[in-house]
Structure 1
Amino acid sequence: MIGRSPMDLRRLRYVIAAADTGSFRKAASKLNVQQSTISRAIRQLEDQLGVSIFERSRTGARLTEAGRRLLEEARTAVELLDLAALSAGEAGRAETGIVRVGIISSLAAGFLRELLSSYFSKHPNIDVDIQNGRRDEHITAVQRRWVDVAILAGVSDVEGCDTVVLWEERVHVALPSDHRLANRKQVDWPDLFEETFIVSRMGPGPDVTDFILRRSASLGVMPNVVYRAVVQETLLHLVALGQGITLVSSAWMAVQLPELVLRPLSGSASVVQFSAVWSTQNDNPALRCFISVAHVLSGRVRRGNSDWVRHSV
């Protein structure tokens, strides 16, 4: 440490300037302050340390041995503090930093992929940490600030959080290519009453299960649902192998798997909205930029300090 008590950074800058120029007068001119200001500040620092930092003469100021040792540490301290201030400023302007994004959807195509691509392009120095998980896990993570923002299926109020609908996708049925419904252009929900649904225990499995149960309950049917402890892509391979059928969002249309077909479910009830959820207490500048990019991409504009609204409003 430079000393046993906190030291005024301004005084250290005066010491460095005086040492570099060899004169209090020249240091004052360099820093655009009064010479008396520098002389008084350095004298106060000498009193604080109990040693002389400079030998004064009519020709200028020369460092003492104690002054030379102080200068070595002062330069390092000031450089580190300047670097910290620069880094903080960059983070505050979202020029650097990290945003942690929880997802349950596929990144194969669609709005989410376009959102991330746009964000990478606009903020290349910000690290984006993508985390897969279940809906309940993401909500808890957002509330506890382990994740900055979660992209979830559906719309619901989350305590302590802001929510905005970004886009919607039609639900598709994943079928083996030799399935009796594989040649249909679209599938009606009653066509699936006798089918076995296989659902992942991982995200987005719980959301898929909830959708199946709600749609079936609306028609008074009890669906046959079987759970598998696999990721979504493995689940689709199981469908292709004839182990059952499942439901996916339209983003999975970009994924080509052998002996697998995707067919859209008919009806307005088969369109799912996707929302961004983030804590109202999260002041991460990188998050604010992420939400801004998401708003713009979803077709919203901001007028002054007002909330984001649709272009048509």
Structure 2
Amino acid sequence: MPNAADHLFVGGRLTERIDLVSIVQALAVAEHLSFSGAARALGIRQSGVSKRVRRLEDILGIALFERHPRGVRTTIAGREFLERARTALDEMDHAFARARRGGRGETGVLRIGVFTSLAGGFLRELILEFSRSHPDVALDIQEGERRVHIAKVRAHSLDVAIATGNADLVGCETAELWREQVHVALPANHPLADRIELSWDEIKDERFIVSEFPPGPEVHDYIVRRTADYSHYPDVARLAVQHETLMSLVGMGFGLTLVSEGWTALTIPDVVMAPLASEADRAPFSAIWSPANDNPALRRFLTAAHALAGRVRPGTSDWANRIAASQ
């Protein structure tokens, strides 16, 4: 009974497996049109090349070469087989190279959930720098609500989320990267529009408008948290508009809203933005990812984020080292 490990079925009959070494040697013979020339090029004995090629011909059931005293010539069947074999080997080389690059995080797809504007600031710089240094990694950037992003990170349908907050999360790693001063967006003709900075006492009685879409719900909660007490509750209207339309409504005088610092890089007609003066209004932004996610591109992204942030996550002194060691 033949050894099953050394045989396979081809065309309904049991045949011996073809090893790649025999194919490589046959290709060398075809290139040099000589068994001796192929042997010299490969640095092996001519008898070994001749034996392997003859065995390959026996397995295939065809003659690859016509032998002559002064050399060899490929047969029609041999030429067709070897051309296809060369193509197959080239494809394998390409697949191996891509696999190696993918394993190093140089290729692939990185899915990033974002919660802030890419118009300016840290996140814009990070994504630009990463895309420049990793041109073969496709970036799939998705906007969405913080809790939805975190659920996707846990499910590995997102590789990393960039969101506000720095608290530890069950099943996730969190690293604070930067902080942004919260800004008030107000109409250009508002009495406070020429202020360099603002305080909550100056604006808590104003009418605020937020979007029903992310990050509107979090902005709503933030306004309530910063202004509500036993004697006051803010006037906050939730509108079924995207953030761009919301900013236009601010310019038209429908109310004030809050934005992250990244929005200050944009020029919006009839809208000015002034920072809130309090240190408490510096919002932390963090990278959130699953420690079980084995995407090599994620490790490279986190390393780039750490390098740009210029520090390691507080309380985890070996964070950057663990990422670097895993590459």
> TM-score under structure 1 normalisation?
0.85
Give the deviation of 1:133 after TM superposition: 1.8
Q: State which of 263, 266, 287 in structure 2 corresponds to 1:255.
A: 266
Amino acid in structure 1 at the alignment position of 2:24: R
SS of residue in 1 equivalent to 2:40: helix
**How far apart are the structure 2 equivalents of 1:196 and 1:109?**
27
Partner residue of 1:117?
A: 128
- Report the CA distance between 1:222 and its aligned residue: 2.9
Cα distance change on mapping 1:220 and 1:65 into 2, 3 Å: farther
Distance 1:49 1:220, change over 3 A: farther
Counterpart position of 2:26:
15
5+ unaligned residues in a row in structure 1: which ranges?
Answer: none
Match of 1:85 among 93, 96, 102: 96
Following superposition of structure 1 onto structure 2, how do residues 1-313 of structure 1 map, counting pairs within 5 Å? 7-56=18-67, 58-217=69-228, 221-300=232-311, 306-308=318-320
- State the alpha-carbon separation in 1 of the partners of residues 195 and 230 from structure 2: 22
Distance, in Å, in 2 between the alignment partners of 1:244 and 1:43 is: 85
Secondary structure, counterpart of 2:182 in structure 1: strand
Letter in 2 for 1:186: E
Q: Structure 1 residues 112 and 54 mapped into 2: Cα distance closer, same or farther (>3 Å)?
A: same
Gaps in structure 2 of 5+ consecutive residues: 1-9, 322-327
Query: Alignment partner of 1:164: what SS?
Result: strand
Q: How far 1:297 moved relative to its partner?
A: 0.7
**Identical amino acids, percent of aligned pairs:** 46
For the residue of structure 1 that corresponds to 2:131, the secondary structure is: helix
TM-score by length of 2: 0.82
Task: Indicate how the Cα distance of structure 1 residues 267 and 38 shifts in structure 2: closer, same or farther if over 3 A, else same.
Answer: same
Please report how far the alpha carbon of residue 219 of structure 1 lies from its aligned counterpart in structure 2 after TM superposition: 6.7
SS of 1:243's equivalent? coil
| Distance in 1, Cα, partners of 2:318 & 2:42 | 43
The DSSP-based 3-state class of the residue aligned with 1:146 is coil
2:174 aligned partner, one-letter code: T
For residues 22 and 151 of structure 2, the distance between their equivalents in structure 1, rounded to whole angstroms, comes to 47
Cα distance in 2, alignment partners of residues 174 and 205 from structure 1 = 14
Question: How far has the Cα of 1:10 moved from its partner?
Answer: 2.7
Say which is worse superposed, 49-58 or 153-162, in terms of deviation.
49-58
Task: Provide closer, same or farther for how the CA distance between residues 28 and 219 of structure 1 changes in structure 2, counting only shifts above 3 A.
Answer: farther
| SS state at 1:140 partner | helix
Tell me which moved more, 88-97 or 285-294.
Answer: 88-97
Separation in 2, partners of 1:97, 1:74: 28
What are the Cα deviations for residues 45-104 of structure 1, in whole angstroms up to 9, with x where unaligned?
A: 334323333344554444344322311211111111122222223333444433232212
How many residues are matched? 305
